[in-house]
Amino acid sequence: MIKNKSIDSEALTKPVLLERNPGVPFDASWFENIKINKSAVERRAATIGARRSVKKEYQAAWLLKAISCIDLTTLAGDDTPGNVVRLCAKARRPVRKDILEALGVQDLSLTTGAVCVYHNLIESAITALEGSNIPVAAVSTGFPAGQITMEQKLKEIEASVAAGAKEIDIVISRALVLNADWKGLYDEIAACRKACGDAHMKTILATGEIPTLTKVAKASMVAMMAGSDFIKTSTGKEAVNATLPVSLVMIRMIRQYYEMTGYKVGYKPAGGISKAKDALNYLILIKEELGNEWLNPELFRFGASSLLSDIERQLEHYLTGRYSASYRHPVS
């Protein structure tokens, strides 16, 4: 049974009320002198998994926290309404009832943070999630490449919001970052934020396609200045997706923006996070760099599809001392 020493069990399901980031006027002086020391970042990131470990009931509690922060995602070319319905059923009940009872947390009403789908499957997801508080997130703006016109991007956002999506994951035009057109990037993201209306906007930087950590840092700051509610690493479709060094840079930009404005912006690593151990490393990084206030679904999400299966498997191992076959813990 979990003793809930490291994470308050109420924090798994209790909503946190935040003042939304409204953005600020463009001012290049906020980021023009940023220079990132890649070697220092990589050294710091390497300490996350090696210097700290979370064991036994503490690990189980942290893994339950990780589940509450998952954007359970399906973004495949062969997605169907049936796939989405099964995914939503898993989002509503992410861990088997017998495991929750054995852990003594059957009353948590544990769910994932959101379900993320393509625009054409929003209606299927909303219907499947009816009666729950799980929001539907939709990818937009020509996901994953973003190679469509600005007019098309805004119409796509507006259509997804009209269809009922509560969160919109946008992709930026990478060329704006590659060419250091920071005002152009600001204008693009600010226009997307306006199109989102009340829907929260997660801005995907596609960091695997940004050549330097310095440009990752500057793009992060510009995205927040333009009103992003979250900044997100990747689409999951790049050759390189979320990494701890990139995450460290983006998280420190979030901290700097908060210190400068008083507004908290969320963080979402996505792509390639499939193991419970990796999830723990990201939670530790958030706790050390931003503090416990960011350890909730309103400010931290994992973009993942297979992570949940491994977490459930690890929870069963905690209870039984044995690893079960992975097929016993399907996502959908």
Q: What is the DSSP string of 70-117?
A: EEEE---TT--HHHHHHHHHHHHS-S-HHHHHHHT-TTS----SEEEE
Q: Taking 80 as the threshold, does the pLDDT of residue 158 lie above it? A: yes
Place of tokens 């490291």: 6
Q: Taking 70 as the threshold, does the pLDDT of residue 215 lie above it? A: yes
- Residue 5 has a pLDDT of 44
Structure-token pair, residue 267: 């963080």
More confident residue, 54 or 111: 111
pTM for this entry: 0.94
**Which domains are present in the chain?**
19-328 (3.20.20.70)
142 to 13, 17, 163, 233: CA distances (angstroms): 33, 31, 17, 16
Q: Taking 50 as the threshold, does the pLDDT of residue 257 lie above it? A: yes
In the chain, the N- to C-terminal Cα span, in Å, equals: 27
How confident is residue 53, by pLDDT bands cut at 50, 70 and 90?
A: confident
For residues 244-253, average pLDDT: 98
Q: Catalytic positions, please?
A: 169, 232, 268
- Residue 71 has a pLDDT of 98
Q: Which residues pair with 268 in a beta bridge?
A: 232
pLDDT in tens, 117-138: 999 999 999 999 999 999 999 9
Q: Taking 80 as the threshold, does the pLDDT of residue 311 lie above it? A: yes
Q: What is the DSSP string of 211-256?
A: S-HHHHHHHHHHHHHTT-SEEE---S-SSS---HHHHHHHHHHHHH
Nearest to 170 by CA among 140, 200, 209: 140
For residues 164-176, average pLDDT: 98
For residues 76-105, average pLDDT: 96
* Mean pLDDT across the chain: 93
Query: How far from the centroid of its chain's Cα atoms is residue 12's Cα?
Result: 16
How confident is residue 265, by pLDDT bands cut at 50, 70 and 90?
A: very high
Cβ 288 vs Cβ 311: under 8 Å: no
